[in-house]
Structure formats: C-alpha cells, structure tokens
Structure 1
C-alpha cells in the first residue's frame, strides 16, 4: 500500500520551512561551505577595495549564509549571488541558487531572466578581469580570446545548474503526479471494494429473503391443507370411514408433494454452495465480482423458470376445494403465456391468499378472479365471512404474519401493485396487478 501525501508530510516534517530534517542538514552544510568560500574571497576583496580584512570577511560570511534561504526564497539567493559577482565571491551560492531556482515551481520566465542576469554578470566580470590581467601581464593570452573565455566561463557557471535544475524539477513533478495518481487509484480501489462488499451483502440478504419467501409459499400452503384434512379426518373417522380414507389419502398426497418441493429447493441450495462460498477479498480481482454477479443472475433466472405457472391454478383451487372450501374461479380476457417470473408470482399470490383463508376463515366461500389485460395481468382473491366464528382457531393453524409481506415484495419486485384489506361485508380481499412485460 502506498503512503498518502498527508501521512508523508506528518512523518517527515522538519524545522521551519524545511519539509525534512535531511534537507535542513544539507542546506546548512551548503551554507557553511558558501560562507567559508565567501569569507576567504572577502580577504582579497577587502584588499582591492581598501577595506579592513575583517570587514571583507564578515561581508563574505554574511553573504554566504544567505544560501540557507534557497528553498524559501530562491530568487533572493540568486540576486545576492549576482550582486556579489563583481567582488569575485559567491560562486557556490550562484551555482546552487540557479539550480534551486530552476527546480522550483516558479514561472520559467523568472528563471530565464535571473539566469540571464547571472550569465551577463559573470560574462562582464570575467571579461573585465581577463582584460585587466592581459594589460598587467598576468595573463599571456591573445586579446581576441578574451570574449571566448568570458562566454565559456559564464556558460559553465550558469548553464549546467539551470539545466540540471530543470531536469530535477520536471522529474520531481512527474514523480509527484504519479504518486498522486497511485494514491487516487488506491482510494478508488478501496471504494470499489467497499461497494462490491456492500453489493455482495445486499445480494446475500436478498437471497435469504427469497429463500425464506419460497419456503413459506411451498410449506405453508401444503401443510395448511394437510392440517385441515387431518382435522376433518379426526372428525369423521368413526362416522364415515370411507371419507376418512379419502382424507387420509389426500393428506398423504399433499405431504409427498410438499416433500418433493422441499427436496427441489434444498437441491438448488446444495448446488449453489460452491457459488455462495465467499473467498478472501484480497484473493479475488474486482472483475470477478461482475462475473459472479452475472452468473448468480443467470442461475436465479434459470431457477425462477422452474416454478409453478398459471396452468396449475385449477389444480391449486381443486386442492382447496377438496379440503372443504367453496372456491369459485373466474377468468377474463384471452389466456396467453407470460414471463416465468410473472406467472410464478401470480400463482404464489393466489396460493398464499387461499392459505390465509384456510388459516383465518375456514369454511368461508372464496372467489378467485383472474383478468388477462393488454399490458398487465390482474388477480383478486376475496373470501366472505366464515360461517362459524372461531373456526380458524379450532383448526389451530399457526401464522407467522409474513404471508402478506411476501406477496407485496414479490409483486413490487416486478413493478406491480398489491393491495389487501378487509371488506365491508366482513371478509378479506387480496388484489394484485402485474405488468405483462415485467423483467425478472
């Protein structure tokens, strides 16, 4: 993991304007070297100017210590070096100052202007000193060679530090840009990982809810009918043995159907164990999240197409009629096939509504209406008041209170509308409308 700029700044903070202690020690060393150089060269300067030697040395020492400010005020350091160039001192200061100026974030026009001033100052001083040396006889060179010597000296003192500073500054900015991009990419990856984890957690919760809803729909209806038939069997066992035998056969058939559906659901869960296994986040690339999500969506779509359909609605109503319920089915519109999820949801709504009638209004007459419309399919299950109050409690059917919630979740997931509530006559009505082109 890379280190962000804030952490680096806090970990490497140095004194005053230095970002690091190492930079402070380097500048102090360079300033000490420049001060010694200027102090030594101040001796000759004081003699040439007719000053006391301590005065010239103190002037050189003070001027050389200006190099301490090179990171804070590089322009001032270069100006001081240009100013003391006629005194033939400050060469270390000039070279280091030009390098620092070129490597800084200052505009290039300022760097060019100061580098030009330093060049012309060095050129003039070298030209004057060389000419004086030739006149005095200290230099045995031709007079025409003096300009070349001056230009070469000025370029040697200005061009290398400026070019090196430009290179180091560009490299530093490039490295900082790459570091910022790496930090930004790391933050984006962390956000993507967090979002992927949130999506995975959401998908797991949705899958748990879906499995719980399927288990409720599969088990509640079958077992409710089994309990109703068992109660009827207990009531007629001695009075009508033949009816008791028929009820016992129905209980056995419904139990086998419930077991078959449970085995199918458990088989799906067992098959998906490998896909549900959650690997370590560091070992899975982010691209695998999308692949797993696509595979999960495909698997859910395939499993959804294996559920019940509207063609089995008459059989469902027949089972309730066999349990003693009076059920009327009316179908409006042209019967046509729908998407598997639409048909399965419509079937589950009717199934759960009939189960609630068995639980809470046993023996009540029930009307099931199914309407095939142009762009939607509508269903309504309405029961009249039970003939004998308290009959539902006599059968002792437990209720978890999740049936209506599950129906509303199913219908809302397909973009439909679900409404339920008591009627004015004392019964209960469940209505749902699902778009015909709802996406699974």
Structure 2
C-alpha cells in the first residue's frame, strides 16, 4: 500500500536521526551483530599482532558498533570497514555499509570511489592471505587459485551490495517522485473541484437571473397594460358602457396572451419539447428553448406593441428610419424587449406622458430609442416596480455586443437608447 507524503511524514517519530522506531531498532540490532562479529574476529587478530586478546575484542566491538550510524554517516561506516579489512574484520559492516552508501543520495563519484577502495582493499587482503596459506602448506592448489580467489572474494563482497543499494535507491527516489506527484495531483484535483463548485454556483445564479428576466419580459408588460385598462374600465364603467366593454375585451385578450406565453415557458421548464433540451438542462438553456420552440417576439410585432399601449390611453408615436430588413432571432427579440420594457416603465412611472418610439435600421446595426415627456401630476395607477427592468435591458444589449444608455431628460422625462450590432 502506497502512502501519500503527508501520511508518510505523520508516520515518522523515531529517536535521534531515525525517521521511525523500527528503523532505529533494526540498525541497533545490526550494530550489535556487527560488534559481536568483530569482537570474535578480534581474537585471532590480537594473537597475530601480539597484543592482549581483550584489546582485540574491545577494538573489534568498538569498530563493529559503528554500523549503528550507517543511515546518518554512511561514508564513515565504509571508511571504517576499509580500515579494518587488513585485520580480517567487519565483513558484515562492509557489506551493509556499502549497500547503505549506494542507496543514499550522495554523488555517484563518491560512491564509486569508496566502492573502488573497498574492492581494492578486499582484493589485496584476500590475495595476501591466500598466498600465505599456500606458502604455509595449508592449501595445495595451483598458483592460479590465488588471483581467482582474490578476485572472486572481492567482487562477491563488493558488487552485490553495491548493485542492490543502487537499485533500492533508484526505486526509493522513484516512489518519492510518484508520491509527490500524487500529492500534487490531489491538490490540483481539490482546487479544480473547488473552482468547479464556484463556477457551478455562479452559473446557477446567472441562470436564475436569466429565467427571472425572461419571466419578467413575458408577464410585466401585459400585466401592466391589464392594470391600466382595469383602472380605465373602473373609471368609465357607468359613464360609457361601450368603452368599458372594449376595455374589458382588451383586458381579457391581454390576459390570455400572458397565459399563453407563461404556458410555453412552464412547458419547457417541466419537460422540454421538440427541438428544445430536456427539463434536466441548465436553466440558461430553458430561456433559449422557449425562443426556439415558440415564435417569440420580433420587430414585425413592434407596431402591435405600440398599439396596445395606445389603446391603454398612452399618447405614443412610432417612427421607423432606414430600410426594414430581417435580423437574427436574438437581435430582433432583444430590440423588441427593450422597447417593451421601456413602454412598461412609462405605464408604471409616467402614466399619461407623451412617448415617442424611434427605430433606425442602419448598415451594420439597429438602434432604438424610447423617450417620454414629463409625467402629469395625476393619472398614475400606482403600479409596483421590481427595480430590475433597466438592469435586464442593459444585460440583454451588452450580451450581444451593443451599447445601452438610459437616464432622465432635461424636460423632466426619461430616455432609453440602445444600439445592437446587426450580426
């Protein structure tokens, strides 16, 4: 089982220079075995050197115990092993020390130099010992055996720990690299997940705003006109029954139109239709689906829109400049909605004010302007305002790369202007 870098760091807690307690226990055990080995090998060394046996045993035990520091000072361990090679001591320390050195992060030239020194030292000592044994008659093999034994022993004590240590070191570095990469990927995935969540939350907010804007466009204008007609109906119900009947018919027609548009949008919200996306689609796709499914408003219906406001008692004038032509669906719908929302605001805030609607077809753009005069002191029907109409118009126009400007006029009225690229 592979652990991440943080888990590996948390698992550490050994004494002194050891990263783990079990590593410390293992090195102490190796040091003890090495000390015992060197102490035993110190007996023949003391006798051959003519010193007390106790001195040889103590010397061997001290030299062998150096193996305890192999992880912290691998170079010192190998140097001690090379130094006591002539005394035929420290075989375990030499093997383990060379393995630790090869597996360490030290430069390769240092490892190669110490490995070469140990190889040469073992080769010379083995050559001399075998030669002495043959001279003393303890070996009766031919002279060819001396170099063979020296080379075999030196390679056998040097090459395996060196190669194994290099392999383990390379594998350890690879595992650390993979662990660091896994940690980095985990952090990146976490960051991506956080960003995705933020984007999803932002998208949901944008989708809710767009659906609210679409619902506002569909309902606000017709309901505003219905309220105006209802107020007029109340005023003339007794004085002019025929006009009251006409106003009632207009209220009914506008209510049915509003219900029809609401059904189209709610139908898409519930299940989607042919050519539209499924109900599980994002909310931003729902508004687009409504445009795709339904006919949607267009500039050809602008005259009818102005006529509805005129029928509600508004003094409104429509002027069209330039050559009339067809535009993309979203361009025509946005232009229609801007005029519609502007007229709705006149009904709400300046009922009875004279209003002028201008539409200009230009070479690469279409421009529209709705300007009303100062509202009279009386005549307002007190329609509520959500405060988002101008914001919605600006968002629609800017989304198509256009320019939107609105504000009061010097005469006390209000002007809404927009320019939308034709493509």
* Shared fold, TM over 0.5: yes
- The answer to whether the Cα contact below 8 Å between 1:218 and 1:262 also exists between their aligned partners in 2 is yes
Paired with 2:284 and 2:339, the residues of 1 have a C-alpha distance of: 26
Name the residue aligned to 2:377: 389
- The answer to whether the Cα contact below 8 Å between 1:325 and 1:363 also exists between their aligned partners in 2 is yes
The reply to whether residue 34 of structure 1 matches residue 22 of structure 2 is: no
Name the residue aligned to 1:280: none
- Measured after TM superposition, the shift of residue 190 of structure 1 is 1.9
Q: Which sits farther off after the overlay, 110-119 or 154-163?
A: 110-119
Q: Give 1:23-422 correspondences, 5 Å limit.
A: 23-271=23-271, 301-305=288-292, 306=294, 307-386=296-375, 388-392=376-380, 395-422=381-408
Q: Evaluate the alpha carbon distance shift between residue 297 and residue 260 of structure 1 in structure 2; reply closer, same or farther with a 3 A threshold.
A: closer
- The root-mean-square deviation of aligned C-alpha atoms, in Å, is 2.1
Unaligned 5+ runs, structure 1:
278-291
Report the TM-score when normalising by structure 2. 0.94
- The answer to whether the Cα contact below 8 Å between 2:206 and 2:284 also exists between their aligned partners in 1 is no
- The answer to whether the Cα contact below 8 Å between 1:3 and 1:183 also exists between their aligned partners in 2 is no
Name the residue aligned to 1:425: 411
Name the residue aligned to 1:287: none
Q: Which sits farther off after the overlay, 66-75 or 368-377?
A: 368-377
SS for the counterpart of 1:415 is coil
Report the TM-score when normalising by structure 1. 0.90
- Measured after TM superposition, the shift of residue 176 of structure 1 is 1.9
- The answer to whether the Cα contact below 8 Å between 1:383 and 1:427 also exists between their aligned partners in 2 is yes
- Measured after TM superposition, the shift of residue 55 of structure 1 is 1.7
- Measured after TM superposition, the shift of residue 15 of structure 1 is 1.7
- Measured after TM superposition, the shift of residue 352 of structure 1 is 0.6
Paired with 1:2 and 1:327, the residues of 2 have a C-alpha distance of: 78
Paired with 1:160 and 1:275, the residues of 2 have a C-alpha distance of: 68
Q: Evaluate the alpha carbon distance shift between residue 276 and residue 21 of structure 1 in structure 2; reply closer, same or farther with a 3 A threshold.
A: farther
- Aligned positions, number: 418
Paired with 2:13 and 2:328, the residues of 1 have a C-alpha distance of: 66
Paired with 1:28 and 1:231, the residues of 2 have a C-alpha distance of: 100
SS for the counterpart of 2:122 is helix
SS for the counterpart of 1:96 is helix
Unaligned 5+ runs, structure 2:
none
- The answer to whether the Cα contact below 8 Å between 2:224 and 2:383 also exists between their aligned partners in 1 is yes
Paired with 2:378 and 2:93, the residues of 1 have a C-alpha distance of: 104
- Measured after TM superposition, the shift of residue 31 of structure 1 is 0.9
- The answer to whether the Cα contact below 8 Å between 2:271 and 2:279 also exists between their aligned partners in 1 is no
